[in-house]
Chains A and B, each alone.
Chain A
Amino acid sequence: MQGEELDLSAIVKDVQMRKSISIRKFWDVLFSFVALSFLILGLAILLLLIFQLFVDGRGLLFSWSFYTSFPAPNAAEAGILSAFVGSLFVICVTVLFAIPIGVAAGVYLEEYAKSSSSPAVRILTDFIEINITNLAGVPSIVYGLLGLEIFKETFKLGNSVLTAGMTLGILVLPVIVVTTREALKSVPSTLKEGSIAIGASKWQTIWDLILPASIGSILTGVIVSVSRAIGETAPLITVGALTFIAFLPPLPFSDRFAPDPQTGELVRAGQYGLFDWLFSGYTVMPIQMFDWVGRPNPEFRVNAAAAGVVLVLLTLVLNSAAIFLRIYFRRRIKW
Chain B
Amino acid sequence: MRSTVFKFAAAALTVSTVASFAPAQAQQAISIDGSSTVFPILEVAASEFQKNSGGIRVTVALSGTGGGFRKFCNGETDISNASRPIAAREIEACNKNGTRYIEMPIAFDGLAVVVNPQNTWARDLTSAELKRVWEPGSKLNNWSQVRQGFPNVPLRLFGPGTASGTFDYFTEAIVGKSRSSRTDFTASEDDNVLVQGVSRDRGALGFFGKAYYNENKTRVRAVAIVNESGRAVLPTDQTVSDGSYNPLSRPMFIYVSERSAKRPEVRRFVTFLMNSAPSLVKKADYIPFTRSQYSQILTIFNRNRVGTVFGGKNQVGVRISEILSRSAQ
Please indicate whether A and B come from the same complex rather than being unrelated chains: yes
Q: Determine whether A231 belongs to the interface, using a CB cutoff of 8 Å to chain B.
A: no
**Chain A 116-157 residues near chain B, CB threshold 8 A:** 155-157
Q: Within 8 Å of chain A (Cβ to Cβ): is B39?
A: yes
- Does B283 touch A at the CB level, under 8 Å? yes
Q: Is the CB of A73 within 8 A of B283?
A: yes
Partner of A276, one of B25, B63, B267: B25
| Chain A CB within 10 Å, residue with most, of B11, B24, B214, B215 | B24
Interface assignment of B44: CB less than 8 Å from any CB of chain A:
yes
Instruction: Give chain A residues whose Cβ lies under 8 Å from the Cβ of B15.
Output: 93, 96-97, 100
* Given A256-B28, A259-B263, A259-B265, A99:B214 Cβ within 8 A: no
Indicate with 1 or 0, residue by residue over A54-72, a CB within 8 angstroms of chain B CB atoms.
0000000000000000111
Give, as a whole number of angstroms, the nearest-CB distance from B131 to chain A.
27
**Interface pair A103/B8, CB less than 8 Å apart:** yes
- A160 and B44 contacting across the interface, CB-CB below 8 Å: no
When the two chains form the complex, which single residue of B50, B55, B61 contacts A241, counting CB atoms closer than 8 Å? Answer: B61
Give the Cβ gap from A323 to chain B, nearest Cβ, in Å: 18
Q: Which of B1, B24, B25, B285 contacts A297 (CB 8 A)?
A: B285
In the complex, whether B57 has a CB less than 8 A from a CB of chain A is yes
- Shortest B280–chain A CB gap in Å is 9
CB-nearest residue of chain B to A93: B15
Report the separation of the CA atoms of residues A159 and B63 in the bound assembly, to the nearest whole angstrom. 12
B289-328 vs A, CB cutoff 8 Å, 1 = contact: the mask equals 0000000000000000000000000000000000000000
Given A275-B24, A276-B25, A296 and B215 contact (CB-CB distance below 8 Å):
yes
In the complex, residue of chain A having the shortest beta-carbon distance to the beta carbon of B280: A73
Q: Are A281 and B29 in contact (CB under 8 A)?
A: yes
Whether the Cβ atoms of A266 and B21 lie closer than 8 Å is no
Q: Across the interface, do A96 and B11 meet the contact criterion of CB distance under 8 Å?
A: yes
Give bound CA distance, A257 to B212, whole Å: 40
Q: Which of B28, B76, B191, B263 contacts A257 (CB 8 A)?
A: B28
- Residues A294 and B47 in contact, CB atoms below 8 Å apart: no
**CB-CB < 8 A to B284: which residues of A?**
73
Whether A247 pairs with B209 at a CB distance below 8 angstroms is no
Is A243 touching B8 in the complex (CB atoms < 8 A)?
no
Task: Tell me if A188 is interfacial: C-beta within 8 Å of chain B.
Answer: no
Contact present for A260 and B25 (CB under 8 Å): no
Contact present for B4 and A101 (CB under 8 Å):
no
Complex Cα gap A97–B199 (Å): 48
Contact A96 B47 (CB under 8 A): no
Q: Which residue in chain B gives the minimum CB-CB distance to A294?
A: B190
Q: Roughly how many angstroms separate A295 CA and B62 CA in the complex, as a whole number? A: 13
Q: Which of A157, A258, A298 contacts B215 (CB 8 A)?
A: A298
> In this assembly, does A2 line the interface, its C-beta being within 8 Å of a C-beta of chain B?
no
- On chain A, the residues within 8 Å of B29 by CB distance are 247, 281
- Contact of A280 with B by CB under 8 A: yes
The verdict on A293 contacting chain B, using a C-beta distance below 8 Å, is yes
Interface size class of B (residues with CB under 8 A): 35 or more
Tell me the nearest residue of chain A to B53, going by C-beta.
A266
| Separation of A104 and B8 alpha carbons in the complex (Å) | 10
Q: How many residues of A contact B (CB 8 A)?
A: 58
Q: Shortest CB–CB separation between residue B83 and chain A, in angstroms?
A: 15
Bound form: Cα–Cα A153–B329 in Å = 32
- B31: which of A73, A97, A208, A281 is its contact (CB, 8 Å)? A281
Within 8 A of A (CB), among B206-259: 209, 211-212, 214-216
| Chain B 32-70 interface mask (CB, 8 Å, partner A; 1/0) | 000000011011101100100011111111110000000
* B23–A160 touching, CB < 8 Å: yes
A104 vs B263: C-alpha distance when bound (angstroms): 47
Q: Which of A159, A208, A245, A259 is the one whose CB lies under 8 Å from B56?
A: A259
Contact A101 B12 (CB under 8 A): yes
Q: What sequence of 0s and 1s flags, for each residue 184-201 of chain B, a beta carbon within 8 Å of any chain A beta carbon?
A: 000001111000000000
CA distance A84 to B244 in the complex (A): 45
Hey, which chain A residues are within 8 Å of B212, CB to CB?
296
In the complex, A88 has a CB within 8 A of chain B? no
Please name the residue on chain A nearest to B210 by beta carbon. A296
Q: Is the CB of A281 within 8 A of B209?
A: no
CB distance from A230 to the nearest CB of B (A): 19
CA distance A252 to B18 in the complex (A): 14
Residues 71 to 130 of chain B near chain A (Cβ within 8 Å): 71, 76
Q: Return the contact of A99 from the options B11, B23, B50 (Cβ within 8 A).
A: B11
Q: Is B149 an interface residue (CB 8 A)?
A: no
Residues of A close to B47: CB separation below 8 A: 70-73, 244, 246
Structural contact, B56 and A279, CB atoms closer than 8 A: no
User: How distant is B132 from chain A, measured CB to nearest CB, in Å?
Assistant: 29
The listed residue (B42, B56, B59, B209) touching A266 by CB distance below 8 A is B56
B282 to chain A, nearest CB (A): 11
Closest-CB distance, A266 to chain B (whole angstroms): 5
A211 at interface by CB-CB < 8 Å: yes
Residues of chain A with a CB closer than 8 A to B190's CB? 293-294
Given pairs A73-B284, A278-B18, 4 additional interface contacts (CB within 8 A): A100-B9, A157-B19, A245-B59, A280-B27
Q: Pick 19 A–B contacts, CB within 8 A, sort by A.
A: A70-B47, A73-B44, A73-B47, A73-B283, A156-B22, A162-B18, A207-B2, A215-B5, A244-B58, A247-B57, A264-B56, A266-B56, A276-B25, A280-B27, A281-B59, A291-B62, A296-B212, A296-B215, A298-B215
Which of B's residues lie within 8 Å of A, judged by CB? 1-2, 4-5, 8-9, 11-12, 14-15, 18-19, 21-25, 27-29, 31, 39-40, 42-44, 46-47, 50, 54-63, 71, 76, 189-192, 209, 211-212, 214-216, 263-265, 267-268, 283-285
